[in-house]
Amino acid sequence: MYKGRFAPSPSGPLHLGSISTAIASYLDAKSNQGLWLLRIDDIDSTRTTSHFTKMILKQLDDLHLHWDETIQYQSKRLENYRHYLDSLNEIKCTYICNCSRKKISEQGELGIDGYIYPGTCRLKSNLMHRNNSIRIITLDEMITFEDKVQGSVQQNILKHCGDFIINRSDEIFAYQFCVVIDDYLDKITNVIRGSDLLESTPRQIYIHKKLKFDIPDYGHIPVLNFKNKKLSKGNGDHLDINNDAQKIWLTCLKILNQRMPNKDLSFKEIIRHAIEYWDIKKLKKIKSIDVDEHIQT
């Protein structure tokens, strides 16, 4: 059975970009008679707060984006993350690393997500975990997948990012790792999210494979740019829903390039229409869309 999800990090309230992602994943799930789960990505306590979680839940509710099943919180899954980190340790594909960012920037080249880690600590066996990070060993092989929106994607993670961190030096589990465990535990079959995570997907697929988990289908929708900058919760971009929920839905359907409903439909009918006519193939195969015309300042 189709199971999709929306997984916001509560580093700020939702903005037009994250709301379009929520709507796209909701519509994809509902038009496939599937379930739509909500997960709060609050693992990184240095940049997320429960205050923003409450705001996000209220925004989703105001938008009539009602989730199925109980909400999952990454912060409540530490035991699960430890368990699967142990599994990776057992199959000997991890190692402890004490390189500082400065050291890596001096040795490594810039890759798709910061500096490519040159593998300096791979062969060291005397390091302790305390205050050090844990990396996963990557292989010189191509990871390929068919994205439902962006088409065929290929990446050699060893060449483009190197062995990457799964547990940070402050002992916070890294996003790339948690998301895999979460999607597995929640039995997610389809991930619809922003294209800013397209380049992360091969790393996630790699961890899925290492742990012998089923790999979900992925679809990465264009992120929204305002004044040439990606909308971002962490930068304070947000959208007040107030009485504008219906208007925001219509704006998102337009941005998502979907068939528009008649003007005289009620809010509930608009949502029903959007589910009925949702067509993922109509999404533009591009990484970002400028939305200056849709945002009033």
List contacts with ligand GLU (CB under 6 A): 7-9, 41, 179, 193, 197
End-to-end Cα, the chain, rounded Å: 42
CB nearer to ligand GLU: give 179 or 291: 179
Q: How far is the CB of 62 from ligand GLU (least distance, A)?
A: 19
CB nearer to ligand GLU: give 197 or 289: 197
Report the amino acid identity of residue 244: D
- Round to whole Å and give the CA distance between 171 and 166: 9
Q: How far is the CB of 9 from ligand GLU (least distance, A)?
A: 4
CB nearer to ligand GLU: give 97 or 224: 224
Tell me how long the chain is: 297
CB nearer to ligand GLU: give 157 or 179: 179
Q: How far is the CB of 120 from ligand GLU (least distance, A)?
A: 29
The helix (run of H) or strand (run of E) holding residue 131 is: none
Q: How far is the CB of 58 from ligand GLU (least distance, A)?
A: 17
Q: How far is the CB of 128 from ligand GLU (least distance, A)?
A: 30
CB nearer to ligand GLU: give 14 or 97: 14
Angle subtended by helix axes 267-277 and 245-255, to nearest 10: 20
Whole-angstrom CA distances from 272 to 27, 29, 31, 60, 170 are 10, 13, 10, 17, 46
CB nearer to ligand GLU: give 80 or 120: 80
**Which residues make Cβ contacts (< 8 Å) with residue 86, sequence separation at least 6?**
none
Q: Give SS3 for 176.
A: helix
- Round to whole Å and give the CA distance between 31 and 93: 39
Q: How far is the CB of 41 from ligand GLU (least distance, A)?
A: 4
Report whether 225 contacts 195 (CB < 8 A). Answer: no
Angle at 281 between CA 278 and CA 283, to 5 degrees: 85
* Residue with the CB atom nearest ligand GLU in the bound state: 41
